[in-house]
């Protein structure tokens, strides 16, 4: 909080502030002091809240990126499992199978990542 912010809040709280050349003369009562404390707490609370929201937004972005990376990795793992099933069928039955559901599944899974 800047010096000007403190002066502004003190004036809002009801303090009388004179600004002679040698500094500031401030006068007020306990009620002014209580209002000033509340105004400072509100101002600092807003600053802290804003900082917390910004940190939460950054954290959320990191979490979302992590989730997206995990989804892509899982999608590719599923497609690779389909490729392995296809390779196993080729090894077992030969290359005479016309079309393969496993390769179609792998292609469909990979296509989901591009949609």
d(CA 84, CA 26): 81
Q: What pLDDT is recorded for position 70?
A: 92
What's residue 21's pLDDT?
65
Q: Record the pTM.
A: 0.51
pLDDT at 97 (0 to 100): 61
Answer whether 101's CB lies under 8 Å from 88's CB. no
Torsion angle of the four alpha carbons 90, 91, 93, 97, in this order, in degrees rounded to the nearest 10 = 10
Of 62, 72, 84, 68, nearest to 109 (Cα)?
72
| pLDDT tens digits, 27-86 | 888 888 888 888 888 888 887 888 888 888 888 888 888 888 999 999 999 999 998 888
What is the pLDDT at residue 96?
Answer: 63
Q: pLDDT tens, 3-33?
A: 788 888 888 888 888 876 667 778 888 888 8
Helices and strands per DSSP (H, E), number in the chain: 3, 2
Tell me how far apart the alpha carbons of residues 93 and 112 are, in angstroms, rounded to a whole number. 29
* 93 pLDDT higher than 80: no
What beta strand segments (E) does the chain contain? 16-18, 25-27
Helix (H, G, I), strand (E, B) or coil at 95: coil
């Amino acid at each position: 909080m800047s010096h000007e912010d403190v002066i502004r809040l003190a004036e809002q709280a009801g303090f009388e502030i004179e600004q002679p050349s040698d500094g500031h003369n401030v006068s007020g009562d306990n009620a002014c002091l209580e209002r000033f404390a509340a105004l400072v707490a509100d101002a600092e609370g807003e600053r802290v809240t804003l900082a917390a929201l910004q940190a939460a937004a950054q954290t959320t972005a990191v979490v979302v990126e992590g989730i997206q990376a995990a989804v892509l990795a899982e999608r590719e793992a599923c497609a690779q499992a389909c490729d392995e099933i296809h390779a196993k069928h080729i090894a077992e039955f030969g290359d005479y199978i016309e079309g393969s559901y496993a390769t179609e599944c792998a292609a469909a899974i990979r296509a989901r990542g591009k949609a």
